[in-house]
Chains A and B, each alone.
Chain A
Amino acid sequence: MPKPPVLPRGGFIVRINGFDMYCEVEGEGPFLVFLPGAMVCVDVFRPLVEAFRKRFTVLTADASGQGRSALGAGPITYVSMADDLVRLFDHLGIAEADCFGIGDGGACGLQLLIDFSDRVRSASLSSTAFSHWCYTAFGKDFIRRMPELVKSPTGILKVFYDVYAQVSPAPERFMEMAGRVARTWASAPNFNKAMLATIEKPTLVISSDRDDFVTEAAFRRLAACIPGARLAHFPGMAHVPGVFRDAVAGAVAMFVGAV
Chain B
Amino acid sequence: MPNPPALPRGGFTLPINGFDMYCEVGGDGPLLVFLPGALVGVDVHRHLVEAFRKRFTVLTGDAKGQGRSTLGRGPITYVSMTSDVIRLLDHFGIGEADFFGIGDGGVCGFHLLVDYSHRVRSVSMSGAPYSHAAYTQFGRDFIDRIGGRMLAPTGYLKVFRDSYAMTSPNPAQFDEVARRVAKTWGSQPNFNKAMLATIEKPALVISCDRDEFISEAAFRRVAAWIPKARLAHFPGMGHLPAMFRDALVAKVADFVASI
A-contact 0/1 string along B158-200, CB 8 Å cutoff: 0000000000000000000000000110111011101101100
B196 shortest CB reach to chain A, Å: 8
A10 in the interface (beta carbon within 8 A): no
With contacts A75-B116, A80-B115 taken as known, whether A115 is within 8 angstroms of B80 at the C-beta atoms is: yes
Number of B residues whose C-beta is below 8 Å from A? 28
Stretch at the interface among B4-12, B70-78, B204-212: B70-78
With contacts A74-B118, A116-B80, A198-B187 taken as known, whether A79 is within 8 angstroms of B192 at the C-beta atoms is: no
Q: Which residues of A sit under 8 angstroms from B140, Cβ to Cβ?
A: none
Nearest A residue to B188 by beta-carbon distance?
Answer: A195
* In contact, B80 and A195 (Cβ under 8 angstroms): no
* In contact, A192 and B190 (Cβ under 8 angstroms): yes
* In contact, B79 and A190 (Cβ under 8 angstroms): no
With contacts A75-B117, A86-B83, A116-B74 taken as known, whether A194 is within 8 angstroms of B198 at the C-beta atoms is: no
With contacts defined as CB atoms under 8 Å apart, how many contacts are there between chain A and chain B in the complex? 76
Nearest B residue to A115 by beta-carbon distance?
Answer: B79
Q: Which residues of A sit under 8 angstroms from B118, Cβ to Cβ?
A: 73-75
* In contact, A74 and B119 (Cβ under 8 angstroms): yes
* In contact, A183 and B111 (Cβ under 8 angstroms): no
* In contact, A190 and B111 (Cβ under 8 angstroms): no
Question: A182-216: which have CB < 8 Å to B?
Answer: 183-184, 186-188, 190-192, 194-195, 197-198
Nearest A residue to B80 by beta-carbon distance?
Answer: A115
Q: Which residues of B sit under 8 angstroms from A82, Cβ to Cβ?
A: 79
* In contact, B73 and A115 (Cβ under 8 angstroms): no
With contacts A75-B117, A118-B73 taken as known, whether A186 is within 8 angstroms of B198 at the C-beta atoms is: yes
Q: Identify the B interface with A (CB < 8 A).
A: 73-75, 77, 79-80, 82-83, 86, 111, 114-119, 183-184, 186-188, 190-192, 194-195, 197-198
If A114-B75, A197-B187 are given as contacts, then 5 extra A-B residue pairs at C-beta distance below 8 Å, sorted by A number, are A75-B198, A114-B79, A118-B75, A183-B198, A186-B198
> Can you name 29 A-B residue pairings with CB atoms under 8 Å?
A73-B118, A75-B114, A75-B118, A77-B114, A79-B79, A79-B82, A79-B83, A79-B114, A83-B115, A114-B75, A115-B75, A115-B77, A116-B75, A116-B79, A116-B80, A116-B83, A118-B73, A118-B75, A119-B74, A184-B198, A186-B198, A187-B197, A187-B198, A190-B192, A190-B195, A192-B187, A194-B187, A197-B187, A198-B184
